[in-house]
Structure 1
C-alpha cells in the first residue's frame, strides 16, 4: 500500500513540474495571482528634480504597484544624453519596448526603419481620451493614417522670460522690437548686468529656443518649409543669411554671459533665476524647472513675452515657435500580452489623469484640461495665457532631418564664436542637399 502511494505522489510531483515548465514562454509566464507575467522595458528622460519629472516618475511607480504581473525594467537617462542613447540602440535595432520619443523627424526616421508600431488600436479603444487632445496634437506623430504616440506635453520653444525688477530699475520695458532689444543690451552691459542668459553646451538650445523663432521673423514660415523641402528655396538664400546675421549681431553686442557654450539649459535657468541676467530665451520646459528650484519671491518677479519683431521681416511677430511635446513610442517587436501591458502603461503616462497632473506640475500639455491657477506658479499662469493668445511656427529641428539639424546646431555655436554667416549657410544647404538625395 505504501509503495502505491509513493508512486502516485511521485507522479503528481512530476506532472506539476511539467505543467510549470509549460507555463514559461520567453518574456511571459504565470505569477501567483494567476495573471500572465510580463517583462517590459521602458526608457525615459525624467531624471531631474523638476516637478514634471517627479510627477512622471510617480506615475510609473504607481503603475508598478498596480500591475504586479508586469516586471518593469526602467532606464532613466539624463536629457542631454537621451537622444544619442536612443539613436544608438535604434541603429542596432535593439529598441526598448517603450521609450520617450519626439514628434516630427524622429517619428519619421524610426518608422522608416520599421522600429515603431502604431497605437491606433489603443486610441480607438478610448475615444473620449483621443478626442480630448487639442487639434493637431497627433500630426507630428502620424504618418498616413497611422498614429505612433500621444503627446504628454506641449513645448513652445521661444519664450522671452524677463526679470521685472531688473528691467524697471534700469528704465527698460520688455522689448517689442529688435531696436528695443539691442538698446536693452547696451544699457544692461553698461551696468555690468548680463542681458540674456544662454546655456548652449548641448548645441540645440540656440537653434530651438532662439533661432527658430528669430529666423521665422525674418524669412516667414513658408520660406523655411520650402527650403527644408528643397522646393524653390535654399539655405544659402539672402534671407537665411540675414537671419544668421541678426543672431550673430546679438552675440557681438555682448548679449550673453561669458562661457555660454559651456553650460547647459538647466544651469542657464538657474543663472536667470538667481537674478544674474535680465532675460532668458527658453522653452516652456523651463517653467517646471523654475517651479522646483526658484523661490516664491523670485517667481513673482518673472514675466514672459514673445521675441521682438524684426524690421522688414516677412514673418508674423505675434508667434512662438513650438511643437507638441514628447510621447511614448512602442517598439515594433512588442506583441501579445506584452503589447496589452505596454498599452496600459502608455495610457497611465498619457491618459486624462496624467495630463492633469502634468499640467499642475507647471508643464504645458496638448490636452483639454482646465487650469486651476492656484496650483501653479504665477509665471506658469502667465505663459499659459500667452501661448493661448499667439500662433505657433515650426521649430527647425522638428522639420529638418537629424543630420541637417546637427549641422545647424554646430553652425550656430560657431556663429556665436565669430563664424561667418555665409559659410554656415553653405554647410547647412550642403547637408540638406545630401539628405534630399
Structure 2
C-alpha cells in the first residue's frame, strides 16, 4: 500500500488540483463538500457559554519562519477565538529535535493530547504501540475534498489516524538565473554530466555553485539524497532494502553517495555548509552568494512570491544520470502535517479534539496555503489570490513521485546516513565506507 501511495498518490492529487484550478468556480461540488467540512463542529462563542471548559495540549515542530508554520499557528488562534470553551496549550519543538522527543514521549506513554504526526514508517511504531487514536468517526468531514491517495500515508490496517495539510516536495532545485547566465546557461542542466560542467564553470568564475546548510544534518540526507539516490537506484530501492531484497552496499547506491563525494572534491559547496542552518542558507542563496540550492517546495513563497527578485529564481529537478534506474521527471514528495490524537483521549476531551481537527483542516486552510504557493492535497478551487508561481510548481511536481529517504528508511539507518554524509563532506569517509555503515545499521535494526 505504502509503495503505491509514494509512486502515484501525490501526482494524482496534484492532477486533481490542477483540474480544479482550470475549471475554476465550475467545480462547485468539491467546493460545497469542502465548505461544509470546514465548519463542521464549530459554533459561535455564545453557544459555548455554559459548557464546561476543556483544555487540550498540542506539540508541533512549527518553530521555523516558514510561511505555512505561521498559517497553522494562526489557525489554532482562530479556533480558540471561535471556541472559548476549548483551550489549546501549545508546545513548539524545533524540527531537528521533534522526532526524538516524539519517540521518547510515545515510549513512555506520555504523549500530549495532540501532536504533529509523520506518515509511513514513522507512524507505524505509534500504531503498533497503541498510542494513536483512529479518527475514522469524523472522516466524512473530508469526503470529496481529500482523495484516498493523499490519506494513505496516515492509514494503517484500514484505520485512519490523521489527514495532511500539504504536499511537500523536498528536492526542488532553485537556481539563480543571472548567475547561471554569467557562465552561459539559460536553463538548468538536464544531465548530471552537464551539471558537473556547470559547477566547474561557476567555480572558475568565482561563484559558489551549491548552497548547503547542513548544520542540522537532515537537509543533505532528505532534500539532496532523496533525489540523487532515486536517479541511480529507482523508486523501489528503499522498499527493497527494507524487505532484504537489496542492500545499501549495492553499486547503484554507492554511486549515488559518490555524487556528494564528487561535489566535495570539486569544492562545490559553501565552506561553512556544516555550521550553517536551513534558514541561514536560504538567506545566503537569496543574497546571490551561491548559484544553486536544493530545498523544499514550501520555501517557494520566500524565494519567489515574497521576493522582489523572485523572477530571477528558477526551479528544476535534479537531472538524469547515465545508466540510472530512476525517472528524472519524478520529485521526492511526502504529505505533511498530520495531527495525531492520543489514544487515551475520551469523553469531552475526545470530542474537543475531533472538533479541532474538523476546524483546522477546513477548506480555508488549504486555500490560504495555496495563496502562499504551497502545494496541497485537497480538491479545492484555486483561490483568486493564489501565488503566481504555484501552477509552475504543481506542473513541475506532477509527473511522478519518488520516496523521501527519511519517510521510508529505518530510523537508525537515517541517523547513520546523516552522520556519514557529513563525514563525506569533511573528507573523513568515502562513499563505500558510508554505504557499509548504513547496511550494518540496517542489518542490526532488522
Report the TM-score when normalising by structure 1.
0.87
**2:422 maps to which of 392, 413, 418:** 413
**2:436 maps to which of 411, 423, 426:** 426
Q: Distance in 2 between matches of 1:278 and 1:171?
A: 13
> Does structure 1 residue 197 correspond to structure 2 residue 220?
no
Q: Distance in 2 between matches of 1:109 and 1:402?
A: 11
Aligned-pair CA distance for 1:433: 1.2
Alignment of 1:260-279 (within 5 A): 260-279=273-292
Q: 1:247 corresponds to which residue?
A: 260
Aligned Cα root-mean-square deviation (Å)? 1.8
Higher relative contact order (CA 8 A, sep 6+): 2
What is the DSSP-based 3-state SS (H/G/I as helix, E as strand, rest coil) of the residue aligned with 1:368? Answer: coil
Q: Distance in 1 between matches of 2:220 and 2:332?
A: 13
4+ residue stretches of structure 1 with deviation over 4 A? none
Q: 1:131 to 1:374 in 2, by over 3 A?
A: closer
> Does structure 1 residue 363 correspond to structure 2 residue 374?
yes
Q: What is the aligned length?
A: 398
Alignment of 1:266-305 (within 5 A): 266-290=279-303, 295-296=307-308, 298-305=309-316
Alignment of 1:7-22 (within 5 A): none
> Does structure 1 residue 316 correspond to structure 2 residue 324?
no
Aligned-pair CA distance for 1:300: 1.4
What is the DSSP-based 3-state SS (H/G/I as helix, E as strand, rest coil) of the residue aligned with 2:123? Answer: helix
Question: Deviation per CA, 1:197-247, whole angstroms, max 9, x where unpaired?
Answer: 1111111111111111111111112233211221x2111111111111122
In structure 1, runs of 5+ residues without a counterpart are 1-30
Q: 2:407 corresponds to which residue?
A: 398
What is the DSSP-based 3-state SS (H/G/I as helix, E as strand, rest coil) of the residue aligned with 2:149? Answer: coil
Q: Distance in 2 between matches of 1:234 and 1:50?
A: 36
Q: Which has the larger radius of gyration?
A: 1
Q: 2:355 corresponds to which residue?
A: 344
Question: Deviation per CA, 1:288-345, whole angstroms, max 9, x where unpaired?
Answer: 44368x532x211111011010001111111111111221111111111111110111
Q: Distance in 2 between matches of 1:166 and 1:219?
A: 31
Q: Distance in 1 between matches of 2:96 and 2:259?
A: 27
Alignment of 1:140-219 (within 5 A): 140-172=153-185, 173-219=187-233
> Does structure 1 residue 118 correspond to structure 2 residue 127?
no
Q: Distance in 1 between matches of 2:64 and 2:355?
A: 25
Is the CA contact (8 Å cut-off) linking 2:215 and 2:276 kept in structure 1? Answer: yes
Q: 1:32 to 1:363 in 2, by over 3 A?
A: closer
Q: 1:392 to 1:429 in 2, by over 3 A?
A: same
Q: Distance in 2 between matches of 1:122 and 1:394?
A: 29
Aligned-pair CA distance for 1:85: 2.5
Question: Deviation per CA, 1:146-174, whole angstroms, max 9, x where unpaired?
Answer: 11110011011111111111111221131
Is the CA contact (8 Å cut-off) linking 2:66 and 2:299 kept in structure 1? Answer: no
In structure 2, runs of 5+ residues without a counterpart are 1-46
Aligned-pair CA distance for 1:268: 1.4
Is the CA contact (8 Å cut-off) linking 1:216 and 1:224 kept in structure 2? Answer: no
What is the DSSP-based 3-state SS (H/G/I as helix, E as strand, rest coil) of the residue aligned with 2:334? Answer: strand
